[in-house]
Amino acid sequence: MKKVLEIEGLFVDLQLPAGTLQAVQNVSFSVNQGETLSLVGESGCGKSLTALAVMNLLPPSGRFRAEKMEFMGESLLGVNEAGMAKVRGDKMAMIFQEPMTSLNPCYTIGNQLEEAYLQHRNVPESEARERAIYLLEKVGITAAASRLSQYPHQLSGGLRQRVMIAMGLMCGPALIIADEPTTALDVTIQAQILALLHALQKEFNMGLILITHDLGVVARMADRVAVMYCGQVVETGLAAEIFNNPKHPYTRGLMDCIPVPGKVEPGQKLGSIPGIVPTPIGNLHGCLFRNRCRYFRSKCAAENIPLIELGPGRAVRCISEQINS
């Protein structure tokens, strides 16, 4: 399996009025062809900024650096804006959370789809149009030809997100980065969109980075998982490993928090992790989860906790003996 994306030692900093936000600290991961990697975590964990750093789309107040950032075997570090513009939308596509704001309300669907193609391919407009129709049908939109002349506001949220997926596929990307692609959609639509994404990934053998806070989505979609907390990767592994045998206290805590319908005792309390999710501004040192962790020892406050390998592709950022047995 070919490696589509390889990241090592990624750091992202954001300048805020309150100080420097160390949004991403020393994050490393890789994605293979045809594989779904999920970056999962809560707000402030840095998952979205990681994706933006890869595409070099950080806000003006953001800076990133990495030891290694290779896409299809070629380094993305030091590539200028023109170079990145060639990659974005072509070999690397991104699907955002809000279909309402991701599509330009002033242009027709057809216009935007064709533009995505014509930006990167020197072909006649008719060919772009044909490809747009082909992909709209692929994402399950009926009467595709007539949809081309519709405007975004004429479509529902679910349809818009399908259009976004079609737009991402226009140039046949090797990697799709989907940032909370179904969070803004209704529950019944969510399952359909995810199934669609999954099928398309398999058909076109693309790599997929699925960024989400929803553990249910992760469980059903992901091949491999990286759990993030406060800017760091705290656990990695196969989806089955993470869900059947979570190691990091944060991952375990998260699993307890998920209420599963149909398996609830009346009056039963939901599991929670005491305390609040921290924002990584300030003088960070030691384990950033230690103030909410039940396995806390004084050594957890010492220098930075390394990612300990438990097996191929399986690692935990925790030095507690109870975890690493």
Partner 1 sequence: MNTEDTTNGKLSDLGIKVDYPTPNQIMFRSMARHKGFLVGSAVLVIVVLMAVLAPVLAPHDPYEQNLSMRMIPTVWQENGSWEHPLGTDNMGRDYLSRIIYGSRVSLMIGFLVMIIAASIGTTLGLLAGYFGGRVDMVVSFLITVRLALPAVLVAVAVVALIGGSTKVVIMVLGFLIWDRFAVVIRASTQQIRPMEYVAAAKAAGCSTRRILIGEVMPNLMNNLIVVMTLEVARAILLEAALSFLGMGVQPPTPSWGLMISEAKEFMLFDPHLITIPGIALFVLLLGMNLLGDGIRDVTAPEGRS
Partner 2 sequence: MEIQTVLETRDVTKTYMVGVGVMKAKKPLRAVSGVSLSVKKGSVLGLVGESGCGKSTMAKMILGLENVSSGEIFLGGQSLSSFSPKEIARRVQPVFQDPYASLNPRKSIGSIISLPLRALKVGSAKDLDGKIDEIMDVVGLPPRTKHNYPNQLSGGQRQRVAVARALIMRPEVVLCDEPTSALDVSVQAQILNLLMDLRRELGLTYVLISHDLAVVEHLATKVAVMYLGRIVEEAPTIDLFKQPRHPYTQALLQSVLTPEPHLGLPETHLGIAYPNPIDPPSGCTFHPRCPFAEDICKKEAPSPTGEGGHIVECHFPRS
Nearest to 232 by CA among 287, 277, 273: 287
Q: Taking CB under 8 A as the rule, does residue 15 contact partner 1?
A: no
The closest of 3, 12, 1 to 51, measured between CA atoms, is 12
Q: Would you count residue 216 as binding partner 2 (CB under 8 A)?
A: yes
Compare residues 131 and 252 and give the one whose CB is closer to partner 1: 252
Contacts of 137 (CB under 8 A, 6+ apart): 144
Structure tokens at 245: 């045998």
Between 142 and 283, CB nearer to partner 2:
142
The residues facing 19 across adjacent strands are 16
Toward partner 1, which CB reaches closer, 61 or 146? 61
Q: Which of 58, 255, 307, 310 binds partner 2 (CB under 8 A)?
A: 255
> Among 19-27, 156-164, 203-211, 316-324, which window interacts with partner 2 (CB under 8 A)?
156-164
Nearest to 168 by CA among 116, 118, 98, 99: 116
Long-range CB contacts for residues 156-160, cutoff 8 Å, separation at least 24: 157/99, 157/100, 157/184, 157/185, 157/186, 157/189, 158/185, 158/186, 158/189, 158/192, 158/193, 160/99, 160/100, 160/102, 160/103
Sequence-separated (6 or more) residues with CB below 8 Å from residue 130: none
Is residue 301 near partner 1 by the rule CB under 8 A? yes
Q: Does 312 bind partner 2 (CB under 8 A)?
A: no
Taking the complex as a whole, the smallest distance from the CB of residue 315 to partner 2 amounts, in Å, to: 19
Least CB distance from residue 169 to partner 2, whole Å? 18
The nearest distance, CB 227 to partner 2, in angstroms, is 12
Residue 142 CB, shortest distance to partner 2, in Å, is 7
Report in angstroms how near the CB of residue 282 gets to partner 1 at its nearest: 4
If contact means CB under 5 to 8 A according to the sort of partner, which of partner 1, partner 2, none does residue 290 touch? Answer: partner 1
Summarize as ranges the residues that interact with partner 1 (CB under 8 A).
16-19, 274-276, 278-286, 288, 290-294, 296, 301
